Structure 1
């Protein structure tokens, strides 16, 4: 266990963005779900093609419905909105269009590298095989990259192939990810209900992935606590923690007079910090799902700043842009307004994400150089 002095955000003299739009900042997106980032208009058009009933036929009204339904404080209720998005993502054409839109929207927000996570097993209702689903998404990604290129832009995208932890298909999805590592797949993830479905249930899948050197990120420390994180690290051999916000439960903060605090890290928190295991924090989503309920119900209560100041490899993410009515730029702006972060802090978050990405080391270094050049030009 390690004890350190900690100065909270209040009182730090940090320069805000001074009117600069965060959209111009070069960004890296590590935790962004394909089925959580659809354009409302795309949902409407695909639903009409497939004769599917949806809550609203107007893009603005549909977007508002998603935001309202998602702002429940419950991960279970939050996940119900995916019934709508998944319903229009059951054909090759639908998957390709959603993936193309997704890439274009990331580029419009200043993202230069993104890892898109999704679960192919959730897209077989209309007869697609797992491989056909992956091919369709990759085709859409490539179309989106080409569209960005035609406008003079540049973006790079990788797929994170997810297994649903409650479905017990981990071994099959692990083989799928490895099979498509030369077709866009850069890593593996497990998603779905975290509490009651620890990574240890898929230990065989993780063994297979390790044997084939496929990088892994695991949803952990969102709807469940330290035991889930521990299983992700030691059963899943995860290189990143999907959310991971509840690692703060292993940090004891003793407030002292004068505004400073004595902070003690438990063994698990110390391991995550010392190993530089990236935390895929998603501030707005963490509020909506109740992931930070132990600390409060406002963004200022989020342990993001505590983790950052203690030296954890924090990254900023959207989780589900449609449900949270957000973008990566908006998340960065919210954090800057709440904790007084300046451009140097926002650059650190992007460099953390670049370092945590599942690219080869030389390409991670090139990505970091591109981020640095982008921030230096501002």
Structure 2
């Protein structure tokens, strides 16, 4: 447990025996309500202990979770994380590639040895950061699993398009899924899938999906790998609802994004998205002792806090930022709501598996159901 004067104990209040952790996520700015980024953490630490009371570290230490809005913007995320470094012991990044990358690469966090744990996103510029940990699969690691899901669910042998934000942060996702499609003999608009013809690069925040919808329609595409802004995803589904949509998590495969896609009357739309956490019902069953989850985002944040508790419990000796980082880097976490992570002193990308969440529409409401669990 924490000991005064031993290592960097910023965020640890010895008088009240409380450790402060910050969660950042897009409470606003992503195009769909994300209030559950705020409520998932307290639901774990304050309501999931004995008799629905607090969950204590080492039998006596409380954890206080403070949620901050990164506004789905890298600069706002960086400001929020740099500010949190002054008062929080550790930071957890829930979603958003640019936001997670900005915080992970922060020199303020690095100099202060702030442990930064996030969902897996890009690998670009993150592999050698000593204080960073991706607790779930990165986009690149998920690409073979996207293909495996397509084979098993019957949509691999279709015409594929890749619709992806054309920024450097998505290059590893783009290149890895293109390589997998070519290797597995997938089709494109004319013959075999061709990265030069069948990848549609989009702006970071497009106004609408009219142009992309026309490209998908003219190409007769039947399967669309989509990775971009959630609001834009909903627009594209409504422009071109006849394809099967697929891709990696963590921004997709969740209820609020499914609702967004179905709201415009997409009707027969179907999607299969990998995700760090399962549907709400499956997560609820796995989260022993948890109160009822409001939605699957809240369940995922609850799972992230479970991952943090498992990381705290790896520490042998005095607890400080340095011992948290060294202990987690050498080992991993056993999982629960989320899949296990394994770092083993070799990598900062510790994800080992993902859930395949199927998206369908019931009227204007999205329906999420976990239909498979994959290991990398």
**What is the TM-score when the length of structure 1 is the normalising length?**
0.30
**What is the TM-score when the length of structure 2 is the normalising length?**
0.30
Question: Would you tell me which structure has more helix in proportion to its own residues?
Answer: 1
